[in-house]
Amino acid sequence: MKILANDGISAVGKAALEKDGFEVLTTFVAQDQLANFINNNQIEVLIVRSATQVRKDLIDQTNLKIIGRAGVGMDNIDVEYAQSKGLKVINTPASSSASVGEMVMAHIYSIYRNLHKSNRAMPLEGDSKFKELKKTYGNAQEIRGKTLGIIGLGRIGREVAKCAIGAGMNVIGYSATTKEIDVPIDFFDGQSLNFKVVAQPLAEVIRNSDIITLHVPAQKKPIIGEKEISQMKDGSVIINTARGGVVDEISILEAIEDGKLLGAALDVFETEPTPSIKLLMNDNLSLSPHLGGSTREAQDRIGLELAEQISAFYNIN
């Protein structure tokens, strides 16, 4: 039985699949060649991340049995159509949550401590304007005591809440489906404390947050646009590690230029993988190339979780 991990798979995940008798191919195949490659190599399982599209035409042209998403969001897969054709569609919703939570905090610290700016300036002027840079970027803020508004209180939202509470932040949130969530925080010495985040109306979260972070699926229109930004606190921050398009990037840039927003962090983009040059050149933005779940630990968990689901499908072990 052959598996194509077209966007890669961790070494431990590959090893687990090979231990169960699967042949795992990790050669990247271009989208327009994918159907032929799958058919010519008798691939039964296709594993993808966000780069490879698994649409109706690919499903119709191949004899796949399983489509696996190495991650959470499956907007690059025609899930309902695949299931209607009898395919098993799997993903790994829990494996990368902690990594995304840490990425959110990294961006928050970056903006509040001016790291997103000083990291650009130091290689250019650090040897000649060290004191000036110290004075400019020393006008920073602590995040302790700030209010973090989490839009989307699922697995990732819960992990973000854990990190934020641990950092001394006040956490509020909005959810279309959940009234409240438990936020258990486990410490290194075995102790554990449990907190609760009660969902509030979206307008309240927008109005009362110093920082807003979004953890929702892809949307038909932005959740945060010009109207919502106008209702936010002056000097607030927006973080998007969810999907491109859930925030209006143009409105963010305008709000930064007007001084309404202190800054913003984007890990995902409307025109990914070719973000707007206006975004890339704006030093009030903390930017990363869709790295939310990209840690070694998360990729190992993802690989193992996929391996378990695939082996279970074939009744192995």
Supply 269's token pair.
């983009």
Helices 296-313 & 11-19 angle (0-180, nearest 10):
20
**Catalytic residue list contains 290:** yes
Bridge partners of 195, per DSSP, are 183
**Catalytic residue list contains 228:** no
Q: Which one from 207, 254, 270, 272 is the annotated catalytic residue?
A: 272
Q: Which one from 69, 215, 290, 301 is the annotated catalytic residue?
A: 290
Q: Are 267 and 241 in contact (CB under 8 A)?
A: yes
**Catalytic residue list contains 243:** yes
Q: Which one from 69, 155, 215, 243 is the annotated catalytic residue?
A: 243
> Of how many residues is the chain composed?
317
In angstroms and rounded to an integer, the radius of gyration of the C-alpha atoms of the chain is 21
Give the DSSP H or E segment for 244. none
Scored b (16 or more CB within 10 A) or e, 60-86 reads: eebebbbbbbbbbbbebbbbeebeeee
As annotated, the active-site residues are: 243, 272, 290
